[in-house]
Amino acid sequence: MGDEERYAAVIIGTGFGGAITGCRLAKKWDKGAVLILERGKRYPMGSFPRAPHDFARNFWAIPEEKRRRPKHVQKLVDRGEECHGLFDIRNYHHMDVVIGAGLGGGSLIYANVFMIPPDEIFDERWPSSCRRPHLLPYYQIAKEVLASRPIPVNDDPRRQIIRQKLFADVAKRNGKNSELVDINVFFGNNFQSPIAIGQQDKNRYGAIQTSCVYCAECDIGCNYHSKNTLDLNYLYVAERRYQAIVLTEHLVTNVVPVDSQEHDDPEADGSNGYRVYYRKLMSQGSQTLSAFANRVIVSAGSLGSTELLLRCKEHFRTLPRISDKLGQSFSGNGDFISFLLGSKLPANPNYGPVITQRTDYNLFQRFDPNRAFILEDASYGSVLAWFVEGAKPGFLHLGAIGRLLRHWLTQLTTGKSPGSLGWALNDVLSDDLSYHTCVLLCMGLDKSNGVMTLDENDHLALDWPFRDSFSLYRAILESSRRFASTVEAEFFTPLPTWTWPIRNNVSAHALGGCVLADDPSKGVTNAARERFGEVFGYRNLFVADGAIVPTAVGANPTATISALSEGPRDNGNRPGCESLGLEKASCCMESRARGLV
């Protein structure tokens, strides 16, 4: 190991926890002292796939991971090919999970929302050190760095979003509170004076972004860099200004503590450091490398971090001291999606940022832990709208076909043409399905009692006891049907995987698995302010991502994961704390946030 690289810290993953921690640590230490490893690719402006051939291969799949995959992707893997695409789709027992793979992690596919949850969600399962009052300063820091704000509201007709007004009107008619949400989207650096749609400018950190073009493609990768993804702020500063080493398409496989002679020693507690083993995915053959680190921060997301630590604990047996609570308290954050077709009023879900508005159902007001959720005005880009038109059943085209036949007969019998090919296309597309479709995205307080383990292939397995959260799902379905009735929709359906007897929900907001606690009998990571996020049983081994969140938060979890990563501590070894380059919690929040500029 004489020629292996040595680092003050190695960060595994570049989602919100990894990006924030990596940036803060890189600010503290010498240039090149921090290594950030990401399994996925970089995505420069304009590089997210859109063509059908490329989009069909935009999935994460490598041969050694024995998981269920789309058939066309499985064929590629069977031939020995690797797919390092953006979407990592996991299918488990009663729960499917969508994960982002790429520099920026889940920020590449998230819906941009920054929402601070109410006091009530921080119940007895949350240690006192990380409840809402302690986190509020760090929510504000992250909000400042991520430039969160609502959509601009002015008289510009291009900034009018039909569905936002529709959702607000439906909420009012149903006696519900609804409001614009803060989103991490670039409209220029001056919130009071947004720059023109499509105009480019450098953000406060020097990265070039485009003022949002309202294309509704936020969750399939923004080709305009209008989303404030982590590669345009925290990671951009870490790499460009503080010169952290960032390696993409490098997959970590094992973490091993070392003894005083820096030999691998699974019995060690990490006081002498760690050796991180990783695979260089783009190399010919199977090339495994290693790096020495004084500290390791695992930030591969709820599923990724939990799976890596489970493999280290149970398969490789290199981290046997980890609490037996590892893998418990999984939550899908109550995610639930439904569709309304044929709304009497137009919705146009193909325009605007993916989410702009929220309606509260017993989360922020009249709190009811069994029925608490929010409803958001989700959308999808026009590239997917064309797919919807192509997939539409043939009988739905009968009206347009009839009009085309009448045009043809008119020309045949009179010699007069009622129109050109353009009119024919107008007939076919005038009844497009998407324009009167509403996408209802809900998230709420599920019971956060899923369990992650390793399967027979030593890969992650998840058991989700969906029946325990049925009161939430029932409340969501009731409100969604009421929404459908209010807009006089012709058809309502939840996501098809939810139909009986499948009952598979889908989540893009996986939480838990390495939850914070006051002792290892209750969780995996330490909630004490002086050791915040450190894995019980080890020194200098931390988890910083959604895996440490003890319960569902009801709201989009980005804000809470970010606050916990910026978050509560006094001093000591917690990544991001004062000893590693951050000011104390009592510092001026604005100066701390603007310290990245």
Task: Output the CA–CA distances (angstroms, integers) from residue 510 to 32, 99, 433, in the order listed.
Answer: 32, 8, 31
Please report the pLDDT score of residue 211 as a whole number: 98
* pLDDT of amino acid 403: 53
Q: Quick one: DSSP state of residue 356?
A: -
d(CA 553, CA 531): 23
Average pLDDT over residues 90-97: 93
pLDDT of residue 452: 98
Q: How far is CA 54 from CA 45, 57, 218, 226, in A?
A: 16, 5, 18, 22
CA distance 506 to 494: 11
User: Exposed, middle or buried, 353 (CB in 10 Å: 0-12/13-18/19+)?
Assistant: buried
pLDDT of residue 402: 55
Other Cβ atoms less than 10 A from the Cβ of 52: the count is 11
Q: How far is CA 519 from CA 118, 462, 566, in A?
A: 25, 24, 22
How confident is the model at residue 311, as a pLDDT?
Answer: 98
Question: Which pLDDT tens digit goes with each residue over 104-114?
Answer: 999 999 999 99
Confidence of residue 159 (pLDDT cuts 50, 70, 90): very high
Q: Residue 171: pLDDT above 90?
A: yes
Q: Is the dihedral of CA 540, 541, 544, 546 positive or negative?
A: negative
Q: In what order do the strands lie in the sheet with 87-92?
A: 87-92, 95-100, 505-507
Looking at residue 587, its pLDDT comes to 39
Q: What is the DSSP string of 225-245?
A: --B--GGGTHHHHHHHTS--E
Q: Which of these, 530, 569, 463, 536, lies nearest to 309 by C-alpha position? A: 536
Which residue type is seen at 234? Y
pLDDT on residue 394:
54
Q: What is the pLDDT of residues 325-382, one digit of tens each?
A: 999 999 999 999 999 999 999 999 999 999 999 999 999 999 999 999 999 999 999 8
In which region does residue 352 sit, left (phi positive, over 0), alpha (psi from -120 to 50) or beta (all else)? Answer: left
Q: Tokens representing 141?
A: 């820091």
Q: What is the pLDDT of residue 423?
A: 45
For β-strands 373-378 and 357-361, DSSP reports them as: antiparallel
Range list of β-strands (E), 459-512? 460-463, 491-494, 505-507
Between CA 158 and CA 214 the distance in angstroms is 9
| pLDDT of 426 strictly over 70 | no
CA distances from 185 to 192, 344, 399, 576, 592 (A): 14, 30, 40, 25, 21
Amino acid, single-letter form, for residue 501: P
* Token duo for residue 167: 């959702």
389, pLDDT greater than 80: no
User: Where is pLDDT greater, at 389 or 371?
Assistant: 371
Tell me, what's the pLDDT at 585?
Answer: 33
Among 239, 294, 236, 207, smallest CA distance to 31 is for 239
Do the Cβ atoms of 525 and 536 come closer than 8 Å? yes
CA nearest 58: which of 67, 47, 66, 68? 47
> Taking all residues of the chain, what is their mean pLDDT, rounded to a whole number?
89
Three-state DSSP string of 76-117: HHHCCCCEECCEEEEEEECEEEEEECCCCHHHHCCCCECCCC
Whether 390 shows a pLDDT value over 50: the answer reads yes
Of 114, 118, 116, residue with least CA distance to 145: 114
Tokens of 329: 């308290």
Decide which of 308 and 396 is more confident. 308
With beta carbons less than 8 A apart as the criterion, state whether 416 and 410 touch. yes
User: Which of 527, 442, 519 has the alpha carbon at shortest distance from 480?
Assistant: 442
- Per domain, the residue ranges of the chain are 5-48+86-384+437-594, 393-432
Q: Are strands 451-454 and 460-463 parallel, antiparallel or unpaired?
A: antiparallel
Q: CA 268, 274, 275, 277 torsion: positive or negative? A: positive
The pLDDT, as a whole number, for residue 588 is 39
Mean pLDDT of 266-270: 98
* Each residue's pLDDT tens digit, 543-597: 999 999 999 999 999 999 999 999 865 433 444 333 323 333 333 344 556 566 5
Task: Report the candidate in 107, 252, 114 with the shortest Cα–Cα distance to residue 181.
Answer: 114
- Tell me which of 307 and 81 has the higher pLDDT: 307
pLDDT for the residue numbered 597: 57
DSSP assignments along 240-280, one per residue: HTS--EEEESEEEEEEEEB-TTS-B-TTS-STT-EEEEEEE
Question: What are the start-end ranges of the H helices in 381-467?
Answer: 382-391, 398-414, 421-429
Is the peptide bond prior to 501 cis by the omega test (within 30 degrees of 0)? yes
Residue 428 has pLDDT above 70, yes or no: no
Strand duo 438-444 + 5-12: pairing:
unpaired
Q: What is the predicted pLDDT for the residue at 76? A: 80
Select the CATH number that applies to the domain covering 5-48+86-384+437-594 from these four: 2.70.70.10, 3.40.50.1820, 3.50.50.60, 3.10.20.310: 3.50.50.60
The pLDDT value recorded for residue 179 is: 98
What is the pTM (predicted TM-score) of this model? 0.91
Residues 6+ apart with CB under 8 A from 415: none
